[in-house]
Amino acid sequence: MARILVINPNCSEACTAGIDAAVAPFRFADGPVLDVVTLKDGPPAIYSWRDWHSVVEPMCRLVERSDADAYVVACASDPGIEAVRTATSRPVFGIFRSAVATAVARAERFGVIALVESSKARHRAALRAMGLEDRLAGEVALNVSMETLLDPEAARASLIAAGRELAAMGAETVILGCTGMAHHRGVVRDAVGLPVIEPAQAAAGLAVAAVGGKSGH
């Protein structure tokens, strides 16, 4: 049976649990195994470019030790996916790029809810690499900690307000720009009235399609 390794590049086990719950709908009978793991050497969250760069080599080493059929880098800053792709011949999916691909397949313009202000530069770099920067209606940063985001209620009002602000900017779909937001997706969707894309789910869907069920091809 094919196996997909989903890597949380930060060291937060609570964040990993949220990712695991988000991708659970993609586990089905006779389908690929989805293993979600925590990068023990990672920072508590990826707030800065320094955090982003710090996880690249540990992720490459993890992938080199693994025999998975596909890999998902489960951080919405897509840290090191170009480097990780040199460590394996198997498919490597960044969840932000996967979410953007899903968004533009569904609507003309999308918005992004970022964890912190500094996340925006990393998202713009990914959008430029994809040639899709002009499809971004806007991006709103919450500027909260990962711990606040993972709380069931603490960031919820801010997430809804950000979603509504993006709708006012012309976004037709909203991307949750951090895996710590996964458990808020339904509430934000219902409050804002727009499709809300959870990046780990977007990448899991692409990875499952890539490995082709049981064959691993």
Q: Do domains 3-94+201-215 and 96-199 have the same CATH topology?
A: yes
47-71 per-position pLDDT tens digit:
999 999 999 999 999 999 999 999 9
Q: In angstroms, rounded to a whole number, what is the distance separating the alpha carbons of residues 133 and 202?
A: 19
Averaged pLDDT, 114-122: 94
The yes-or-no verdict on residue 215 having pLDDT over 50 is no
The answer to whether 94 and 76 have CB atoms below 8 angstroms apart is: no
Averaged pLDDT, 174-201: 95
Q: What percent of the chain has pLDDT over 70?
A: 98
Confidence of residue 151 (pLDDT cuts 50, 70, 90): confident
Q: What values do phi and psi take at 8, rounded to 5?
A: -85, 115
Q: What percent of the chain has pLDDT over 90?
A: 88
pLDDT of residue 25: 94
pLDDT of residue 214: 47
Averaged pLDDT, 191-203: 97
Return the amino acid letter for 152: P
CATH 3.40.50.1860 matches 96-199: yes
Q: What values do phi and psi take at 52, rounded to 5?
A: -55, -50
Q: Strand (E) positions, the chain? A: 3-8, 33-38, 70-73, 92-94, 110-114, 136-141, 173-177, 196-197
The yes-or-no verdict on residue 212 having pLDDT over 90 is no
Domain positions in the chain are 3-94+201-215, 96-199
pLDDT of residue 132: 97
The yes-or-no verdict on residue 103 having pLDDT over 50 is yes
pLDDT of residue 150: 86
The yes-or-no verdict on residue 191 having pLDDT over 90 is yes
Q: Which CATH number fits domain 3-94+201-215: 3.40.50.10800, 3.40.50.12500, 2.70.70.10, 1.10.240.10?
A: 3.40.50.12500
Look over the chain and give the mean of its residue pLDDT values, rounded to a whole number.
94
Global pTM value: 0.93
Q: In angstroms, rounded to a whole number, what is the distance separating the alpha carbons of residues 172 and 108?
A: 7
